[in-house]
Structure 1
C-alpha cells in the first residue's frame, strides 16, 4: 500500500453523543478510539491533511443535535485539532456523507490536488461507510480503516437484528466487493504513512 504525501485523513463524527449508551445500545470495537487517535497523530506528524467532520443532527431527540453536549467532539479529537503541521478542515454535516457538508469537502480536496483519502470514525456502517462509498464514486482512491471505526447493534425491517460485529463485516465486504474502497487496518496505514 502506498500512502501519498497529500493523502487526506477524514475523521467522521467522533462525537461525545455516541457515549449515550441508552440511546445507541451495544457497540463493537473498543480499540477504535486508540486507532483513530493513532491515525490523527501520524497524519499530523507527517504534515498530511486532516478533515474533522461533525454531525449536526436535525432530530430533536438525537444526542448529536446542535446545542446538546453530545454534539461536541470527543476530548481526544478536540485536543488534537489545530495541532498538525499540514492543512486542516473542519466541516459540519446533517446527513450521512461528509461530501454533503459545509464547507464542500470535494471542492477542498480537489483544490488541494488530493486523490487519496483515508476514512475513520463513527458509525462504521452509516456515516463512515457512506463517506467512503461517495468518495469512491467521485473517483478518489479510498482506504477504509475498519478497526478505526465502530457501530452499534441495529434492528431492521421485520424485526431483523444484526450485531455491531455483523454490520462491520457487512460494511467491509460491501466496500471491498463493490470496489468503493480498500478495507485496511490501522497498523497497515501507520506503517505505510511512516515509511
Structure 2
C-alpha cells in the first residue's frame, strides 16, 4: 500500500455514547487501541486528521446533543487544527462539507476507522468510493455490534463486521489491517 503524504485519517464517531450498554455486544476489543495508534502516527507525520461527530436527531440516541454521550472520548479529542465534521446521518459526506474540503486540500486518499462498521463506516466508505477517493478501511480499527437481520435472524458483531467489510472490499474501498499501514 502506497500512502500519500496527505492521506487523511478519518475517525468516525469516537464519542462517549458508543460505549453505552444498550448497544449490546461488540467485536474487535482492541479497535480503540489501534485507532489511537493510527491517530498518534498521523499526528507525528503531520498528516490530515478528520474527526467525525454524530449529532443525532433522535432523543433516544446515544449521540443526542443534549447529553454527554455526544462528546468525544478523551483519547480522541480533536487537537487545534484538526478538522471536525458534524453529521446527522451515518454518511459523513451527506449534508456536510467533507467532500468539498477534501478536494480543496488536494486530498485523494482516505484511511477510514471507527464505528459502527455496518453503519457510519460502511456508508461513509461507500460514498468516498463513489466520489472517486482512494478509500481504505482498516478492519481491526473498526467495530460493530450484534444485529438482527431483516428475517429476524441474530448475527454476532463479528459476522456483521465481516459482511459489511465484504460489501466494501474491492468495490468501494480496499479493506486492510493496521499492520499494513504502521
How far residue 137 of structure 1 moved from its aligned partner, in angstroms, is: 0.1
Matched ranges for 1:97-116 at <5 A: 97-102=91-96, 104-116=97-109
Matching residue of 2:74: 75
Q: CA shift at 1:101, angstroms?
A: 4.6
In the comparison of the two structures, how many residue pairs are matched?
182
2:175 to 165, 183, 189: 183
Matching residue of 2:4: 4
Give the root-mean-square deviation of aligned CA atoms.
1.1
SS in 2 for 1:98: coil
Alignment of 1:120 onto 2:113: yes
2:14 alignment counterpart:
14
Map 1:1-195 onto structure 2 (within 5 A): 1-21=1-21, 23-78=22-77, 81-82=78-79, 88-102=82-96, 104-177=97-170, 179-190=171-182
1:40-92 CA distances to partner (integer Å, 9 max, x unpaired)? 011111010000000001111111110111001111101xx216xxx521010
Deviation at 1:99, TM superposition (A): 0.6
Displaced runs of 4+ in structure 1, greater than 4 A? none
Label 1:101 to 1:13 Cα distance change in 2 as closer, same or farther (>3 A).
farther
Q: Aligned with 1:157: secondary structure?
A: coil
Separation in structure 2 between the aligned mates of residue 101 and residue 30 of structure 1, nearest angstrom: 31
8 Å contact from structure 2 (residues 117, 165) kept in 1: no
Using the TM superposition, give the Cα deviation of residue 158 of structure 1 relative to its aligned residue in structure 2, in angstroms.
2.7
Q: Separation in 2 of the partners of 1:42 and 1:97? A: 25
CA distance in 1, matches of 2:66, 2:154: 32
Q: What is the CA-CA distance between 1:156 and the residue it aligns to? A: 2.5
The whole-number CA distance in structure 1 between the counterparts of 2:59 and 2:109 is 36
Structure (1 or 2) with the greater helix fraction: 1
Q: Distance in 1 between matches of 2:136 and 2:160?
A: 18
The normalised TM-score by structure 1 is: 0.90
| TM-score, length basis structure 2 | 0.96
